Chains A and B, each alone.
Chain A
Amino acid sequence: MLTGAAMAQTGSGPAVAHFTLPNGLEVVVIPDRRAPVVTHMVWYRVGSADETPGKSGLAHFLEHLMFKGTAKNPAGKFSQVVSTIGGQENAFTSSDYTGYYQRVAREQLKTVMEFESDRMTGLVLTDKVVLPERDVILEEQNQRVENNPGSRLGQQMDAALYLNHPYGKPVIGWRHEMEKLDRADALAFYKRFYGPNNAILVVAGDVDANAVRKLAEDTYGKVARRSDIGPRVRPQEPPPVSPRFLTLADPRVEQPSVQRSYLVPSSSTAKRGEAEALEVLAHILGSGSNSRLYRALVVEKDIAVSAGAWYQGSALDATKFGVYGSPKPGIALPQIESEIDATIAALIAGGVTAEELERSKTRLIADSVYAQDNQATLARWYGTALTTGNSVEDVRAWPERIRAVTASAVQDAAKQWLDKRRSVTGYLIKDAAPQTEKRS
């Protein structure tokens, strides 16, 4: 998670406004006056990790069904208007949030706010629209997962990493549960989680905060708050005890790989400075061709075609730190895995150099300046932060927090969190056995 906060120190960035309407709707306004357009987003503090057991995929299914109309605006009308006014729209669902957005000319902001506030509580669903849409999400699951061996491995690894927390479930859902989701499920979920006091409005673009406040009061401000939205309490992970290993064999695998995920703190659960250290660690260990893993596996040992690391810092609960490598032909996966282990062990033992630290920090801080060039990116940063337990101030302070990371903090983070007992390791291999069983 990065931010627009570099603006504060370069003095050239926009002043972000943040306020809350009486009905509980939080509003963030990010000025970007370069083009006469706005990005309008509504984020709900609900994602797949908030689903009832047995209803996996419901948060995402509802996201699709939100385009099916209200009493006031029948199915398709909102999309038609957005299209007619030359706007773009879409929506997205993660474990922790669900978001809807339109990008339109600034004159059209009020129009999309009227439609979006109407569907905040006004959704109407019939089986005529729900049932074909369920087929659509099943096709989406086919497209994203069943047709893609790497995604299948990822799902298995998440399920193995999270012993108790719902992050172990795929956002798209388990197919056997998706097939049974219905209209009543969707409406119950909608009534439980959608309302102004569980939402964040983010507007970025050629507009000022006072104008947005007035428009928000006239539209979203009229939507009654829901009294029964409880705190987001999910079952938490027990302390991890044992490394887990799994292998996914699929006849379509032409490039095998090793993946590993560690259970680590997120920017929301971490102690002060810890998430920032993990961010820098992921960069030094595995971002780009001068990272430790790439240098060791791809260049020096010459056994892999790719290798790297990543950290998914934005999450409400404990999150993942990943490392991976794909072997050259003829190299076995255990050799890749042991070289990854050796690279991590060397970093834990010897720490990182001042040069590595500086280079990574430069890059991560520069990203926050580059982000100022894209209002949609900035809007997403703020929306993500506010739905995953962070604040506007956290976002603004990002460059300072990265700048404060020390070499010893990076080394400590590696030592404490890159412990195999906290991890699951997955092998993706080609299944050479003849296919007798038919996949459904």
Chain B
Amino acid sequence: MSRLKVLLALIGALGVALAGLPANAMTIERIVSPAGIEAWLVRESAVPLIALNYAFTGGSSEDPADKTGLANLAASLLDEGAGELDAKAFHERMENRAIELGFNVGRDNFHGTMRVLNEHRDEAFELLRLALSAPRFDADAVERVRGQVLSGLRRETSSPNSIASRRWWETAFAGHPYGRQTNGTLETVPRITVDDLKTFPKRVFAREGLKIAIVGDIDAKTAGVLIDRAFASLPAKGDLKPPQPVIPRGLGRRIVVDVDVPQAVVTFGAPGIARSDPDFMAAYIVNHILGGGSFSSRLYREVREKRGLAYSVSDNLIWFRQSAVFIGGTATRADRTGEALAIIEQEIKRMAESGPTEEEVAKAKSYLKGSYALGLDTSGKIASQLVQMQIDNLGIDYVQRRSAMIDAVTLADTRRVAKRLFDGGLLVTVAGRPKGLASQGQ
């Protein structure tokens, strides 16, 4: 008892100390390039490098149903030859200056990253321009990278983690682009043609909807010039087919996929909450208490610490433009999978029915406020967060407003949202040979 009191006293003191720290540490400038492209800039002269993150609207959900994996394959090929440079020459130009370019596909967006030493930034932006506006998709490079993607897909066919996850998404979003994996399937990836690949950048790489963040030892004027070099020649508008709004299905179902492994892998989840929903912060707090990534969550305590049922157990909120889920997972030995799953279901039910306690909410708020600065302590992390803030329409002053938004959530809010989030039942997929656990529901 006395221990709890001490802890609460500590929280009181800390809330004050931590409020507003990230805001003090970082100034975000909105800049507009000579060609009219907007970007968010954080000037940081302590380290001689530049981190650039950007996102185009349109990701794997733009893939045709019979050619899933198209956006992913295109992204994997952007640094395999562009303009006059073949794959070897392009990579040499990058390596000679230790330039890093990354291209990743999400369901709604195409994400790019760059990291470069300040002295080589002109070369880096020139290579980025080539990759975005003149990718070659040479036949030999296409076949080579396609072979690598297929190799990864073959590996996934026997990986219990991939099997449980894939089955969950396919079931929750059956018939919708969100149900398809970004890397496609063994059937669809071989169908993708060079022409298909060439259409992808033309449709997606456009200035409308482009979000850019740049962090480093660079002023607004220079940043604007470099941004124009990479992005100004892209068309104003793309040619997108945005996905329809969708609600995850399959609640109440449990699907067991037989895989000969000693440890069964479990994925569980249900509809989540839109990032723009007024209840999002309350949901974020409740989810943190249930199964967020700390050593103090309810799931961690009940499944791992008290009973030793699993090494990892957690859950997350994930949101898309047209849907949202909460999704979690664990991995546990076959003869105790049923027990682990029962405890997870019971904890989710308990959270839906009674919500969190006042102490839990106070601690979670304190964590979520205090830990924010830890996600903003490298140039790459800052650039990534700034792009996501733009995608989510949070506003350039979000960093300053965030703590007050967390504080504004009441205990009643969290209980109401817990019910809304966790009361609808779960879709559960299991890959392995869990003893006494069979598929149920339909």
The chain A residues found within 8 Å of chain B, CB to CB, are 10, 12, 32-37, 67, 74, 76-77, 79-89, 103-105, 107-108, 131-140, 142-143, 146-147, 251-255, 288-290, 295, 298-299, 302, 305-306, 326, 328, 358-359, 362-363, 365-367, 369-370, 372-375, 435, 439-440
Contacts and interface: CB of A to CB of B under 8 A. Distances in A.
Contacts of A289: 80, 87, 91
A133 B308 contact: yes
B44 interface: yes
Given A86-B366, A366-B98, A440-B262, A306 B7 contact: no
10 contacts: A34-B377, A74-B3, A86-B368, A142-B333, A147-B261, A251-B158, A290-B95, A362-B95, A370-B49, A372-B49
Nearest to A146: B262
A36 B24 contact: yes
B92 A359 contact: yes
Interface residues of B, number: 78
A87 B218 CA distance: 31
A143 B154 contact: no
A88 B48 contact: no
Nearest to B95: A359
Nearest to B143: A302
B311 A34 contact: no
Contacts of B148: 305-306
Contacts of B305: 76, 132
B49 A81 contact: no
B139 interface: no
A36 B144 CA distance: 46
A53 B77 CA distance: 50
Interface string B1-30: 001000100110010011001101110000
Nearest to B149: A305
A373 B47 CA distance: 6
B11 A84 contact: yes
B295 to A, nearest CB: 4
Contacts of B11: 84
A35 B377 contact: yes
Interface string B93-107: 001111000000000
Nearest to A108: B14
A373 B151 contact: no
B217 to A, nearest CB: 9
Contacts of B152: 255
Contact of B46 (A34, A147, A366): A34
Contacts of B10: 81, 84-85
Interface in B52-92: 80, 87-88, 91-92
Given A36-B25, A86-B367, A86-B369, A372 B47 contact: yes
Interface in B146-176: 147-148, 150-152, 154-155, 157-160
